[in-house]
A and B are shown apart, each in its own frame.
Chain A
């Protein structure tokens, strides 16, 4: 398989199904309407927008959450010194209309729906000249407002897609970010301590910095890895210039993984198709192979002792289907 074909098939496997995306967007629109109505009744001039991976078209499977920012022109007085109060108040205003289990994370109100697989993260934003201030409320630290520009980030990604629209393929920039996010997750799951090399937003910021000329994924990917392995060793400026600089939590670890991926993906362009496929599988893994093991289908052990999805082959053994017990933390 050629690298070009590999990346195309990888995208097919990691993309969220269209129906699921549409359902999530519909739900997000409903949330936005309710937020604008309820918060807007108390603070006139309130608006909202979608943010995060779904809004930027960089979402990969599984779709875990939808992000919404509700933006107020000015906060209530009690919110200024207590950002957590903003989240608490908004929650109390919407919980009768939006049914679900409410919790608070560091920056957002998290809603778990009974009827959906995904959750909703609602960020209360205080409009600024550029960007917003949003609550930063970690458990063991003082609470404060921090500057960010989610709308700006979204517009940058969508803008880059538009810039490259003459190049063959639709939304190629978003698709490239999906490939990179998949790689990032694969490294996390393979690491003994399950460390993620880069935060998802860091991947996006690096892509905005590095991928400025359109190319096919087979050339873009090694170019990204090579440049990112150096850039990740020092803080990266926020693409919109609003938020704090972005730093990797484990810069040396991230750099080493990026460098390894750069070598392999670059070599895949020069070797035979079979070798290229093996190299790329080594870098990105096979979503279908893992999905067959962890899904609801039959799993068996091959004669060599490897786990495989499907019925047992001759000399192998079937693994009985069981139900795990419990429903999360």
Chain B
């Protein structure tokens, strides 16, 4: 009998070799799986952390483009947050009308993707407004137009405020004279939201679907549905939260 420590040569099965191989494979597999789980948990945690960040924390360059020039043009503006929306509140002068209005621009999402909502105090009867929320919002430009004929993020918030001022003067003139002197488009008032300006065609079969669609409109604060969110509180309170009072 050899006592060299080496394995016998006579053909007996070497269970130990295969067992060791198996054990090695299992350990390796367990290590890889542990690594994968760890990576997945880390990814999930960081994705959730990313998603929980507000849009202006995710897209700092967009915020910069939006706010460019505001300190020089409108130094009295105040920036705040309601829900997941960025609110910029300021008082604007309506030239030739000798009055000022409180204007609030609400950005519920990235302004490159989500059209800002512009709300104002004062009379609300207008030829060009959205009325999906109780404080109505201005329809300053026609979204499907070419970018040369509408507001884009590159123009910045300063231009949006300038356009709103002109819009408010036109509205006041229209209320008094029934004349809208500027360029305008379409034969129906915007009856949807900023993101979907026109509701689906009126059809008896679609009335219930239309009602459902309206009930699902997202709140201006960017969190839940409007009817369950700021649409569920008294109108005066909503206006106070926005800063129109």
Contact = CB atoms under 8 A, between A and B. Distances in A.
- Do they bind each other? yes
Contacts of A326: 127-129, 139, 184, 186, 188-190
Interface in B13-38: none
Interface stretch (A66-74, A161-169, A314-322): A314-322
Most chain B CB within a 10 A radius of its CB, from A62, A117, A320: A320
Nearest to B167: A324
B158 A317 contact: yes
B149 A323 contact: yes
A323 B159 contact: no
A185 interface: yes
Contacts of A299: 166
B201 to A, nearest CB: 17
Nearest to A196: B176
Interface in A259-316: 285-286, 289-291, 293-296, 299, 301, 305-307
Interface stretch (A32-40, A86-94, A186-194, A231-239): A186-194
A325 B198 CA distance: 10
B82 interface: no
Interface residues of A, number: 36
A96 interface: no
B220 interface: no
Nearest to A289: B96
A319 B95 contact: no
B145 interface: yes
A185 B187 CA distance: 28
B182 interface: yes
Nearest to B155: A320
B155 A290 contact: no
Q: How large is the interface on B (under 10, 10 to 19, 20 to 34, 35 or more residues)?
A: 35 or more
Contacts of B169: 290, 293-294, 307
Contacts of A305: 73, 93
A151 to B, nearest CB: 26
Given A294-B166, A305-B73, A189 B189 contact: no
B127 A321 contact: no
Given A190-B99, A192-B122, A296-B181, A322 B188 contact: no
B103 interface: no
Contacts of B162: 301, 307, 317, 319
A9 interface: no
Contacts of A320: 148-151, 155, 159, 163
A137 B123 CA distance: 27
Given A291-B181, A295-B182, A324-B182, A194 B166 contact: no
Contacts of A293: 95-96, 166, 169
A190 B97 contact: yes
A322 B150 contact: yes
Nearest to B144: A325
Given A194-B123, A194-B172, A324 B180 contact: yes
A260 to B, nearest CB: 13
A299 B142 CA distance: 18
A325 B139 contact: yes
A298 B141 CA distance: 15
A65 to B, nearest CB: 9
B141 A323 contact: yes
A329 B155 CA distance: 30
A293 B127 CA distance: 17
Given A324-B170, A325-B143, A326-B188, 17 more contacts: A62-B179, A189-B173, A290-B169, A294-B169, A296-B182, A301-B73, A319-B162, A320-B155, A321-B183, A323-B145, A324-B140, A324-B141, A324-B184, A325-B142, A326-B184, A327-B186, A328-B180
30 contacts: A185-B177, A190-B99, A290-B96, A290-B169, A293-B95, A293-B96, A294-B166, A294-B181, A295-B181, A296-B182, A305-B73, A306-B95, A307-B95, A307-B169, A319-B159, A322-B149, A322-B151, A322-B183, A323-B142, A323-B149, A323-B183, A324-B182, A324-B185, A325-B128, A325-B142, A325-B186, A326-B139, A326-B186, A327-B184, A328-B127
Which 8 residue pairs across A and B have the least CB separation, nearest first? Answer: A322-B141, A326-B189, A324-B128, A290-B96, A62-B179, A307-B95, A323-B183, A325-B139
